[in-house]
Structure 1
Amino acid sequence: MNAVEPKSADLRQFISGNEAVALAARDAGVKVAAAYPGTPSTEILEYVSKYPDMYSEWSINEKVSLEVAIGASLAGSRALCAMKHVGMNVASDAFMTQTLIGAVGGLVIVVADDVGLSSSQNEQDSRYWGRFAHLPVLEPSDAQEAYEMTRAAYGISEQFEVPVIVRLTTRICHVKSVVVTGEPETHASTGFKKDPSRYVMVPGNAKGRIPMMMKRDEALQAYALNTSLNRVEPGSDNRVGFVTSGAAYYHVKESFPDAPVFKLGFSHPAPIDAIRDFATTVDNTVVIEEVEPLLETELRAAGVEVHGKDLVPKIGEMSPAVITPPVSKLIGEAITEGTLIPTSEVFPRPPTMCVACPHLGIYYCLSHIKNTIISGDIGCYTLGAGHPWNALDTTISMGASLSVAQGLDKGRAESDANKNVLAVIGDSTFLHMGMQGLLDITYNKGNVTILLLDNRAVGMTGGQDAPSSGLNLQGEKTTQVDFRKLCEALGVKPERIHEVNPYEMPVLFKALRTEVKIPEPSVIITNQPCVLTERYSKLPPLKVETDKCTGCSNCLDVGCPAILVDRRETVVKPNGKEKELAFVSIDTAACTGCGLCTKPCAPDAIVPAFNVSKIDAVEIK
């Protein structure tokens, strides 16, 4: 059945939590959805974009996406905003004010926590935002509940005139299960009605909204005690009872299937009195939550005796292997063979860039630029910190490379006086939060060289379109940002802005060596597309002529995964020192003929695998 056709009631589908949220938004009559790509939440908007009755957009960053959703809510329409946990930090300025304004049309903020740091620079617990902002938090445990709770969130949002957080985790976002959908509903926009005392948050108006927020808290606490989103599941073994939510619920059920469980779907405000009553029915009450001891602390403050992080870690997923040993010890149960799910060692696969990635040549050059401090950012190019390049010295957060570089420049010690400061940032990250950093550098006369890696996509999260691509979420042509003009508008002198093909490493290397010596801001823009997008054009593959290969291993320093080591040999040099040689081959099935590896190959042993006239750089379509 076509995804855009209306669904009948009780249609069973095998889908992920992310797709379930998108379906729920459609079936709840959502009119506007906005997000910025970020694993594990990215696919929510990608699925939403398939439904033409909903307006959807990749916003420039998470703050903008939330503000778009807020505007739609104030216009009386139902709205969805989705982001990963670190994106909530970016959106928090608007978020913390909206708690006082509230919602008109249903406003749901889906936040996906990367528990276990699968693809994030930190591990956060977004349940704190509910406490911080006085907003309700719903926590689905699987894709079915992701669908049901997202739909329920719109009713709660409009009933209490409050934004609602739906907190997912990586496990919920990506694991698929059978979902039964309900009958879609329509929601007519009520229109924008002027109310400056509510919508204009100057101090006088904001103060008047605080008593409303406190009264709303009381109403939500009463709702938490009676909602069917929270439930008690009786068990036959009362030695231990669990209070849990989200994906941890299934880990608990797998670990102790006979134990009573208080399952929280509406986890904030927490139904403290109901949990207190539950605790009296079991010998030991254990709170299993990912990741912080948030509910545990609240229960203890309320005088409820519970165990929690005194038994299980404060980091990572609460899998059966994590839960079973400490809880079994608590109740005096021996761990027998077969109790735990066996784990197997996986052959280590260090993360690396794709074959022919335009960033490979960039980091090869950076690894050979001496006396330089390199400030990195968030994206595929963060991998430049690893082997074989080791060419990043800092990575903090989205857009931080430029601001950090400015601080490194202005705060340098005497011992660093002669060192160059260089910042590396991608196109979508630059537009997300890096432009302000460049303006700060030029305005405050910093001495920083910026490498702006324009690959025409949000590469790290799957190649989504960005303003640098000239295409929107639906693939329609739109305004394409001109980075040269933008950098000039932000204060960089025209003669200090250069566009370079990163596959032409000698040209790139010369530009880098020249610009780091200039005592003022300069920008080098690399201009080749992500190899996983349609804009990239492959060339015939390359091969290694084994009789010419000297084992120098210079090509390995490029870091391309298509270059394979066939054998290693150790030789003794005339000075008596040993040197290891690595004789290589190229996986022609993977090679795209970009020619990067030919540049450092002294014996010219890398040649076309087929009969072509020359090796050239890839071109943009």
Structure 2
Amino acid sequence: MSNKKILTGNEAVARGFFEGGGVIASSYPGSPTVQILDSLKQYEEIYSQWGTNEKVAMEIAMGGSIAGAPSMVSMKHVGINIAADPFMTFTQIKTKGPLLLVVGDDPGLTSSQNEQDSRFYAKFANIPVFDPCNPQEAKDFIVEGIKISEKFNTPVMVRLTSRLCHCRGIVELKDRVAFSYDGFIEDQSRFCMLPPYANAAQHFMKERMENLKTFNNTYSLNNLETKGSGTLIITSGMCYENLKELDVNVDILKLGMIYPLPMDLIKDLYSKYENVIVLEEMLPFIENELKVEGLTVIGKELFPFTGELTLETIKAGLIKANIINEEVQGVEAEKVPPRTPMLCSGCPHRPIFHILKMNKATVIGDIGCYSLGILEPFEVHKTNISMGASLGMVLGLAEAESKIDKNRPLVATIGDGTFFHSGITGFLQLAQTDKNITVIVMDNRTTAMTGGQITPTTGDYFKEEGGYTVNIEGVLKSIGISDITVVDQFKYKETKEAINNAMKRNGLSVIITTRPCALNFKVKKPHYYVDENICIGCRSCIRTNCPPISMKLYDGKDKKNSYIDSNMCVGCSVCSQVCPVGAIKCSKSE
């Protein structure tokens, strides 16, 4: 078979793993790499499974590798922090089956809390890095990564960026390559990283990197494009595609494997040019590697160290370097009006945020859809650091403030996906506290922020997806937490009373909310409407920040009253419960 198809970068990665003979794939959902595992589910030959967190996902792939099977784990850049413990040790091992770590970096912080450059993790771990520039290369580099991993007995990182993950391009499809393996064969000296074996593994790892460096000097994925210019630009990834669009009169060395660098090749080229420029997104990784070797190159003097390198930023840098004329004008991109992210219609998080804002609570936030509680109009979350951090942080805050006799009630929020990802250990730490801490577990039965992937509580709604259900209340009771209240947050007054009472009690109080994600589970009930003759225009309903609600000037009125768009309303009823005069009513239709 040989045909072409338009794929996203993520879909191309999945296709490459299929074509390369991949067998075991695991991941934890995190933008921009979510679609990789979703796309793999179409291939029956591949076992693909969401991990509880990135560490577990990494370990699943490691298990496939020691059996000899081509294995892949995918995650966003911050996920490597969670997976770092097994990852940093497994990179010492002389791997048996190919192992790929596909990571999605996020220049410009499109959907992340930091802008981590994963290339440095690869250098830290002594493994090679591929940097594809388009969906075709994303597919090809996965296939090539499997080959390199097998040839050099090494894990391989394939580094993507948000733009590449989500862009679309024409990809040539090929048949699947058969890959045979014989299962796990016991070899303690190879797979047990205790000091006697790990010390020897250090020498193997060093030798492996030296062999890769030599190999990369003549690797076909590194391409030189010449125009007879006195300037050489060394680049990789999507920076190359943007540079090519500018059609600048420079020679280009496009790298496929960016670590270890093909240093002999670069040094040979370096002597032939007046100027050598490094074009790379985020930190000066390639630039610093070259400077360590004594080469005079420039890079971050011209280009930003943060954010995506767009056509405009690359052009500005090349103007600064006198490579192109400042008078050269491109077509200005149309300015898109900014739009603040907001919770969906019927989102079960909304009444919780409304209650916390009315209480003027000090809330330590976490990562998920509920991170939007940081933004207007709620502005209830006062911190947002990393998954599961709210629990340890609220304990540390409470203990620190108690030392200065500032004993105020504190609240932390965490979702069900984050609870299972990295929250249980935080609850173990919190279980015996005597400080006034209320934790709200916002269980919407899904990992909603990244597209509705399953969690261990999803089985309540989708038996065929989750297969079973873990009861969060039962888990918390099993570790000694007894002050637990389970609420339906769409029963607004009961939920408000439960939260208010919890905030008055010393020790740990837990509130578990149970309404599912309206979007993922397609929640739709009879819509509500406003009786404009009763409405007093107080805007209490507006403050719930529900998308269907706005203010409208009705016929015959001299001031605006509330209005609900029936096409958007999913019938959650929260607005009617906060209305002080009973102006919002259920249609009882549809």
Asked if these proteins are the same fold (TM beyond 0.5), I'd say: yes
Give the 5 Å matches for 1:124-135: 124-135=116-127
Residues of 2 paired with 1:605 and 1:424: CA distance? 32
Contact 2:129 2:157 in 1 (8 A): yes
Superposed, which structure 2 residues align to 1:282-301 within 5 Å?
A: 282-301=273-292
- Cα distance in 2 between the residues matched to 1:162 and 1:611: 62
Q: Which residue of 2 aligns with 1:552?
A: 538
Q: CA deviation at 1:294?
A: 0.8
Q: TM-score, normalised by structure 2?
A: 0.96
Give yes or no for the alignment of 1:583 onto 2:561: yes
User: Which of residues 466, 481, 504 is equivalent to 2:491?
Assistant: 504
Listed one character per residue, the Cα deviations across residues 236-283 of structure 1 (whole Å, up to 9, x for unaligned) are: 4x1432111111111111124432110011110011221222233333
SS at match of 1:101: coil
Q: What CA RMSD, in Å, does the superposition of the two structures yield over aligned residues?
A: 2.0
Q: Does residue 466 of structure 1 match 2:479?
A: no
Q: Which of 129, 132, 141 does residue 149 from structure 1 map onto? A: 141
Q: Which stretches of structure 1, 4 residues or more, deviate above 6 A after TM superposition?
A: 471-474
Hey, what's the Cα distance between the residues in 1 that align with 2:417 and 2:466?
17
Alpha-carbon offset, residue 169 of structure 1:
0.4
TM-score normalised by structure 1 residue count = 0.91
Match of 2:446 among 453, 457, 474: 457
Tell me which residue corresponds to 1:619: none
Give the corresponding residue for 2:101.
109
SS at match of 2:217: helix
Task: Report the residue type matching 1:120 in the other structure.
Answer: S
Q: Which residue of the partner structure matches residue 385 of structure 1?
A: 374
Q: Is the 8 A contact 1:156 1:164 kept in 2?
A: yes
Pick which of 111-120 and 339-348 moved more.
339-348
* Aligned residue number for residue 314 of structure 2: 323
Alignment partners' CA distance in 2, 1:240 and 1:474: 61
Distance in 2 between residues matched to 1:333 and 1:125, nearest whole Å = 29
Correspondence for 1:538 among 519, 524, 535: 524
2:66 to 74, 97, 115: 74
Query: Which residue does the alignment assign to 2:571?
Result: 593
Retained in 2: the 8 A contact 1:376–1:392?
yes
* 1:356 positional shift: 0.8
Q: Does 1:343 align with 2:330?
A: no
Question: How far 1:499 moved relative to its partner?
Answer: 0.8
Do structure 1's residue 403 and structure 2's residue 403 form an aligned pair?
no
> C-alpha deviations, 1:478-516, integer Å up to 9, x for none?
2211111001112201xx111100111111110011111
Structure-2 separation of matches of 1:129 and 1:217: 15
In the alignment, the residues of structure 2 paired with residue 187 and residue 46 of structure 1 have an alpha-carbon distance, to the nearest angstrom, of 23
Listed one character per residue, the Cα deviations across residues 94-153 of structure 1 (whole Å, up to 9, x for unaligned) are 100011113211101100101111110011111111110000000100000001000010
Tell me: CA distance 1:475–1:296, structure 2 relative to 1, closer, same or farther (3 Å).
farther
Letter of the structure 2 residue corresponding to residue 291 of structure 1: M
Q: CA deviation at 1:477?
A: 4.7
Q: Is 2:550 the partner of 1:564?
A: yes
Q: After alignment, is 268-277 or 139-148 more displaced? A: 268-277
Q: State the shift of 1:464 in Å.
A: 0.9
Give the Cα separation in 2 of the matches to 1:48 and 1:471. Answer: 25
After TM superposition, the structure 1 = structure 2 runs for residues 221-260 of structure 1, keeping only pairs within 5 Å, are 221-236=213-228, 238-260=229-251
Separation in structure 2 between the aligned mates of residue 547 and residue 453 of structure 1, nearest angstrom? 36
Contact 1:399 1:429 in 2 (8 A): yes
Further displaced range: 499-508 or 255-264: 255-264
Matched, 1:334 2:325: yes
DSSP 3-state at the match of 2:206: helix
Gaps of 5+ in 2: none
Change over 3 Å in CA distance of 1:289–1:171 after alignment to 2: same
State the shift of 1:326 in Å: 2.5
Quote the Cα distance in structure 1 between the aligned partners of 2:3 and 2:462: 27
- Structure-2 change in CA distance of 1:595 and 1:284 (3 Å): same
Deviations 1:175-217 (A, max 9, x none): 0100002231111122111111121111222112111111111
Provide the C-alpha distance between the structure 2 equivalents of 1:433 and 1:473, rounded to a whole number of angstroms. 23
1:338-391 superposed Cα distances (whole Å, 9 cap, x missing partner): x23303322221111001100000100111123x32111000000011111111
| SS of corresponding position for 1:308 | coil
Please say if residues 17 and 174 of structure 1, whose CA atoms lie closer than 8 Å, have aligned partners that are also in contact: yes
**Identical-pair percentage:** 37
Does the alignment pair 1:166 with 2:158?
Answer: yes
Structure 1 position 474, deviation (Å): 10
Q: 1:471 to 1:327 in 2, by over 3 A?
A: farther
State whether residues 410 and 438 of structure 2, in contact with CA within 8 Å, keep that contact through their aligned partners in structure 1.
yes
Of 123, 138, 147 in structure 1, the residue corresponding to residue 130 of structure 2 is 138
The alpha carbon displacement at 1:416 in A equals 6.3
CA distance in 2, matches of 1:256, 1:153: 30
Per-residue deviation, 1:443: 4.3
Partner secondary structure for residue 470 of structure 1: helix
Aligned mates of 2:508, 2:470 — CA distance in 1: 21
Cα distance in 2 for residues equivalent to 1:48 and 1:201? 32
Q: CA deviation at 1:542?
A: 1.4
Contact 2:458 2:465 in 1 (8 A): no
